Amino acid sequence: MSNLEKFKVAILLATKDGAEFLPEQLQSYRDQRHGNWELHVSDDGSSDSTTDIIDQFARDISQRVGRRRGPCQGFWRNFMSLARDRNITGDFFAFSDQDDIWSKEKLTRAVNWLAGIPETIPAVYCGRTEIVDRAGLTLGYSQLFTKAASFQNALVENIGGGNTMVFNRAAKKLLEACEPVEVIAHDWWTYQLVTATGGIVDYDPQPCLKYRQHGRNVSGSRTGLDALIHRFMTLFPNREFETNDIHIDALLSIKQLLRPESIASIELFAAARKGFLLERVRLLRQSGVYRQGTFENVAMFLGIIWAMFLRRELRLRGCPVEQVVWRVKPAGAWR
């Protein structure tokens, strides 16, 4: 046994009618070079053979497998129910979708990095993905992020897909410490929470899994021109403002856990979404928030400026501004 094999990884798998692709995902667990893992499954009331497949898998392997019924309140709540469960223990914890194919080195690469981080520091490993079709043929790769991971980035952008995330006990304790809040997704919330409290996030540019693109994905992935257009469309009001409102409310609800620098960035960013043009630009720059791409950064600035003119126009027309632009949707609406 290598030195890394002493670290146990608890795989957190959320399922819902995943029978079609689940066997390949489970097989990719068995193929891991890091063999010290156990599987915890939370199933949101599958009506196909998903649970039968899980039960058979449990009988076929030596690793521990636990299965339970999920909260049946959407994908991110299912994942969070696993992440916040204090009865699930281990050295490290890995979110897993039901329809991917992990590379054989996925856990090894994550454990190798996490093992070098002091246990008291919250830490998350994440990475790029290879996008494949239903048959497993390559379609492309997820966006390559090259700027540093930080809270100022996490406030406006998520660089880590949950299916790539592996985190340590300190990060899990943070998730456990937070009362359930409305968020956009479990992975974005994990990125924000860990960086806001002084933790570390490592982004691996080498793809660690095959992300299967198909019609039933809860959240899809885009490549090429389609990805560029999609990113452009989501940066402008009102969707961007609704997303930011949800994040700001969630983070301020756990203000006592955050670093002073993180709180300052939140407050400056929130203030930048109000006021006059020059004040918005000044406050946005002071907040330090940034996106990974130049295009996205420009669009973010333009979106905040455009919102000012839109707000003024709506007031002149007697429209309820808060309902039109800053109406916060329930987090489940983003599923």
Query: Would the pLDDT of 10 be above 80?
Result: yes
CB atoms inside a 10 Å sphere around CB 63 = 16
Q: What is the mean pLDDT of the chain?
A: 88
- How confident is the model at residue 281, as a pLDDT? 87
- The whole-number pLDDT of residue 319 equals 57
Res 224: pLDDT: 52
Q: Give start-end residues of each CATH 3.90.550.10 domain in the chain.
A: 3-221
Packed helices 294-316 and 224-234: angle between N→C axes, nearest 10 degrees = 40
Distances (CA, A) of 280 to 16, 130, 151, 284, 300: 43, 38, 20, 6, 12
User: CA-CA distance, 196 to 85, in Å (whole number)?
Assistant: 22
pLDDT of residue 321: 45
- Please identify which residue in the block is written with the tokens 């299965």: 67
pLDDT on residue 322: 47
Given a cut of 70, whether residue 165 has pLDDT beyond it is yes
Superfamily designation of domain 3-221 = Spore Coat Polysaccharide Biosynthesis Protein SpsA; Chain A (3.90.550.10)
* Backbone angle region of 224, left / alpha / beta, with phi > 0 → left and psi within -120 to 50 → alpha: left
Question: What's the half-sphere exposure (Cβ side, CA atoms, 13 Å) at 112?
Answer: 9
User: Strand, helix or coil at 296?
Assistant: helix
